[in-house]
Amino acid sequence: DSGVTQTPKHLITATGQRVTLRCSPRSGDLSVYWYQQSLDQGLQFLIQYYNGEERAKGNILERFSAQQFPDLHSELNLSSLELGDSALYFCASSVAGRTNEKLFFGSGTQLSVL
Amino acid sequence: DAKTTQPTSMDCAEGRAANLPCNHSTISGNEYVYWYRQIHSQGPQYIIHGLKNNETNEMASLIITEDRKSSTLILPHATLRDTAVYYCIVRGTDNDMRFGAGTRLTVKP
């Protein structure tokens, strides 16, 4: 158990809908990362937050947005969903987001868009 | 663009050492080398990381060449449970952790 909690574990929805994925980092970790893993793209970095502020942005679509709240949990919002958004979404956390810190990953949310 | 090059797949006999290579010829002086693995569709699991010196922990050893252009992850006594995709990642000042395609290691009885 990494200590990173992601909910829900599975999500099934339809095209055009909007969903919210939730992540609770390990106790004491201030930085949160979001990743998308699809069969054809592998693990893609989406975005990183540190103590409520966006720190780094990767291949995140404009239809997607994220935020980190004062209690340090994070949410990833996916809107106008398309079939191609079906993927595993992972959240990870680290203490302060420094380059010499390891990331701890959650068990992921499996999103299926039908 | 990926900063690392790894073989697509490797096999290893159970009980033997698994040596997974990684090339990172464009690595900068302040960039770290990280290794993670992913078993099936579980979340990636941290293995080890280093900057210049060789590192060892309870899971593995990391050998980094003197010029830092390549490294090798060593699992000293591979078991069937070590079958996974292994990712070598170079992490720099831009702070994000970007995964490549990794090496699919199959440990065979």
Q: How far is CA A54 from CA A2, A34, B82, B93, in A?
A: 23, 12, 35, 15
Percent of chain A topping pLDDT 90: 86
pLDDT in tens, B58-72: 999 999 999 999 999
Quick one: average pLDDT of B75-102? Answer: 89
pLDDT in tens, B20-37: 999 999 888 889 999 999
**Average pLDDT of chain A to the nearest whole number:** 94
Quick one: average pLDDT of A71-100? Answer: 95
Q: Considering only the C-alpha atoms of chain B, give the largest distance between any 2 of them, rounded to a whole number of Å.
A: 42
Q: Do A45 and B97 touch (CB under 8 A)?
A: yes
Looking at the partner chain, which of A35, A99, A102 has a beta carbon nearest the beta carbon of B95? A99
List b or e across A1-33, with b for residues whose CB sees 16 or more CB atoms inside 10 angstroms. Answer: ebebbbeeeebebeeeeebebebbbbeebbbbb
Among B62, B93, B96, B98, pick the best mutation site for testing chain A contact (most A Cβ within 10 A). B96
Percent of chain A topping pLDDT 70: 100
Task: Give residue B81's pLDDT.
Answer: 96
